[in-house]
Amino acid sequence: MNVSQILKQKGNRVVSVSDNATVSEAAAILAREGIGAVLVLDGAGRVAGILSERDLVRGFASHGAAVLTLGVAEVMTRDVVFCRPEDSIDQVMGEMTTRRFRHLPVLENGRLTGIVSIGDVVKYRLMETEAEAESLRQYIAAG
């Protein structure tokens, strides 16, 4: 199973926020959408960064409640790592583990086509494992 199969089921929606938004606005979006990260887009719609719950926690630790009035650009991560639709689940899991983050936006020919989280990856890896176990059971039952 690969990233494009995950996106086929979960869809291509990517929740984003403008790089002019405040941290407070971004936090409201994370809460409303029940997600852990938003992509930050510049005025031309290009990816300027990614802002996750971790960045909010770090921001609170260094600025206190004043972090809410800062611009997202001050706390986001600028150097965004992407994955590709053809990447396997194992590749994506490896990337998330090595780099210690839980979100990978998907780029296809320079276009943003979705985002996968560690939750998606675990869910589809489990489905894959269950399918493998089932086919083994059927193989054994067939004698």
CA distances 140 to 49, 114, 128, 129, 130, Å, are 50, 39, 19, 17, 15
Q: Which of 1, 29, 80, 107 binds ligand AMP (CB under 6 A)?
A: 80
List the one residue from 52, 87, 112, 116 that touches ligand AMP (CB under 6 A). 52
Nearer to ligand AMP (CB atom), residue 53 or residue 134: 53
Q: Which of 37, 62, 31, 70 is nearest to 51 (CA)?
A: 37
Rounded to the nearest whole angstrom, what is the least distance from the CB of residue 82 to ligand AMP in the complex? Answer: 7
Is residue 7 involved in binding ligand AMP (CB under 6 A)?
no
Using the rule CB under 6 A, is 53 a contact of ligand AMP?
Answer: yes
* Residue 16 is a binding residue for ligand AMP (CB under 6 A): no
Q: Are 22 and 65 in contact (CB under 8 A)?
A: no
CA-based angle 16:2:84, to the nearest 5? 50
Binding site for ligand AMP (CB under 6 A): 36-37, 50, 52-55, 77, 79-81, 101-105
